[in-house]
Structure 1
Amino acid sequence: MSAVTHPRFAPRRGSRPTPWWSKAVARAVEEAAYHSNDLRAGRSLARGGRVGALTIDKGSLFAAVHQGDDAWTVSIALPTLSPEASATFVELVAAESGRIAGLLAGELAHQLVEDAEDAGVELLPYGGEFSASCSCDAWAQPCPHGLAVLTQLTWLIGDDPLALLHLRGLSREELLAALHERTLRTPTNGRAGPDDAQDEAAAADVEVGVDAARRAARILAGLEQGEDVSPLL
């Protein structure tokens, strides 16, 4: 299964530093709102911790929103990258040493996004791309419940830009696997040059990422089974 469930956010008070890519997604959420009152209500629900865990799959986002004695189910859809666009993005990540390490560390380089856009790969969404539905059956979608979920999505993406890639159809595991396969296909000529050094550095970044992903999977599996995972931390 490719779906990943992210823990719910605790209530938030006051403002926090926001990375540029999260602000870009927040602007798209503002564009998606039909009315400013809906947006304010959605943000209030999000800041109050009324949104449950966010489940992200390729092209879809699900969450429950609690309001009073009611709980509403929200579904958000976003177009995914084509296989060709995903392959192009993998090449762009591999093109410069440090890019995969940056993504794994929670950083989305502005230059990487610009290079992707120049290559026809749109990572950051715009308001019209969001397709929302809610069990409250409000005529205007996204409703305040949907906007609450989207608001928390901007927080999640701010902490982990790979969540945006997953929503766009390229999961963390697939990205790392594609980068790993690419490094295995890279020919060597037996001479150490600038390109070889860059390839070796990129390969090292991928190996670190693969190890980190495997370790995280073991920790999550241990937590689900109630095991003591402190030696793995």
Structure 2
Amino acid sequence: MSGSGWFEPSRPIRVEGGIRARSKRGSIGERWWSRRFIDILESICDGGRLGRGRSYARSGQVLDLELGPGRVTARVQGSRSTPYKVKIGITAYDADQWHRLAGALAAQALYRAKLLAGEMPPEIEDVFHGCGLPLFPDQRGLDLDCSCPDWGFPCKHLSAVLYILAESFDDDPFLILAWRGMAKDALLDALRATGGTEDDGDGAAAQPRLFDVADVPFADRLADFYDPGSSHARLRDRTGLPSTSPGLLLRALDPPPITARNIPILDLLRPAYRTLSESDDV
């Protein structure tokens, strides 16, 4: 230890019952949203401290972690007897901003369906950026603080908490949205409430969506149960559909582990999907 007392020894005090990262080697984060978070961190943070933070995360040095709107707090055991206190802050969006976000998400049928099914569509980032509100924080959007004397960005204690946070996103992607200020149940309620109509933005009467069908009790439908709820002409009318990229389906599904001449099958399918989307006969 330095004679000034400002730097702790390299070996932390081992603890029992800490939060231990599942990943034993290599990268941390299994799903696209946690990997996206980690990729951002690794692009803006010191690689050496992140490496030491991974070691802390894998050895269970993070004692606890609590997430709330705009903040994450945790305690990390270093080499000193008193654990260090870690705080990670981002901007939590207010009610008006979340009203805009929920409306934009509900306007995209596929995204809304995936969220209601507990999934996180990759295109959700585009929806956030379209509203001028980033989903993931960059360096300027992160407020990092640790009670240790290391002035590095970030210190290994903060790094450990960031990696544990990424793995918690693996388990529940809605924690990312809760960090931004919207709890899962509140968002799903908002999507259900706004999912049935198109709002023109000026308070005018809402119009039904393309595939909306009235919910009628079964006993009242015995005579016409097998009749279509929407006319064939309405189903053929695609003017009410949201615009989507031709490769949306390819991004929505997990990529198959198939290659042709060492080229991933998705790379071969994308041009075909673009060609099909340009045809007026489809």
TM above 0.5, one fold?
yes
1:12 aligned onto 2:20: no
Unaligned 5+ runs, structure 2: 1-17, 200-204, 217-282
Are residues 26 and 105 of structure 1, via their aligned partners in 2, closer, same or farther at CA, if it must alter by over 3 Å?
farther
1:26 aligned onto 2:38: yes
Matching residue of 2:70: 59
Q: Distance in 2 between matches of 1:199 and 1:92?
A: 24
Q: Distance in 1 between matches of 2:175 and 2:77?
A: 23
Q: Distance in 1 between matches of 2:148 and 2:78?
A: 11
CA offset digits 1:176-215 (Å, max 9, x no partner): 332344368889x9xx973414999xxxxxxxxxxxxxxx
Matching residue of 1:171: 183
SS of match in other structure, 2:152: coil
Q: Distance in 2 between matches of 1:90 and 1:181?
A: 10
Are residues 10 and 115 of structure 1, via their aligned partners in 2, closer, same or farther at CA, if it must alter by over 3 Å?
closer
Unaligned 5+ runs, structure 1: 1-6, 201-233
Are residues 103 and 182 of structure 1, via their aligned partners in 2, closer, same or farther at CA, if it must alter by over 3 Å?
closer
Q: Distance in 1 between matches of 2:209 and 2:118?
A: 30
Are residues 59 and 198 of structure 1, via their aligned partners in 2, closer, same or farther at CA, if it must alter by over 3 Å?
farther
Letter in 1 for 2:128: A
Matching residue of 2:47: 36
Matching residue of 2:267: none
Q: Distance in 2 between matches of 1:181 and 1:168?
A: 20
CA contact (8 A) 1:131 1:142 kept: no
Matching residue of 1:225: none
> How does 1:93-112 map onto structure 2 within 5 Å?
93-97=105-109, 99-100=111-112, 102-103=114-115, 107-112=119-124
Matching residue of 2:58: 47
Letter in 1 for 2:210: P
Are residues 198 and 40 of structure 1, via their aligned partners in 2, closer, same or farther at CA, if it must alter by over 3 Å?
farther
Which 10-residue stretch deviates more, 96-105 or 126-135?
96-105
Q: Between the two proteins, what is the percent identity of the paired residues? A: 28
Matching residue of 1:135: 147
CA contact (8 A) 2:21 2:57 kept: no
SS of match in other structure, 1:179: helix
Q: Distance in 2 between matches of 1:37 and 1:93?
A: 38
Matched positions, count:
191
Larger Rg: 2
Q: Distance in 1 between matches of 2:57 and 2:98?
A: 31
Could you say what the CA RMSD is over the residues aligned between the two structures, in angstroms? 3.4
CA offset digits 1:87-145 (Å, max 9, x no partner): 12211332244545533655321222213312323112213311111121322243110
1:167 offset after TM fit, Å?
0.8
Matching residue of 1:154: 166
1:19 offset after TM fit, Å?
1.8
CA offset digits 1:137-171 (Å, max 9, x no partner): 32224311011101111111122111011111111
Letter in 1 for 2:138: Y
Partner of residue 77 from structure 1, selected from 68, 89, 93: 89
Q: Distance in 1 between matches of 2:106 and 2:20?
A: 32
Q: Which of the two has greater helix per residue? A: 1
CA contact (8 A) 1:31 1:126 kept: no
CA contact (8 A) 1:25 1:126 kept: no
Q: Distance in 2 between matches of 1:59 and 1:194?
A: 37
Which 10-residue stretch deviates more, 95-104 or 178-187?
178-187
TM value normalised by structure 1: 0.68
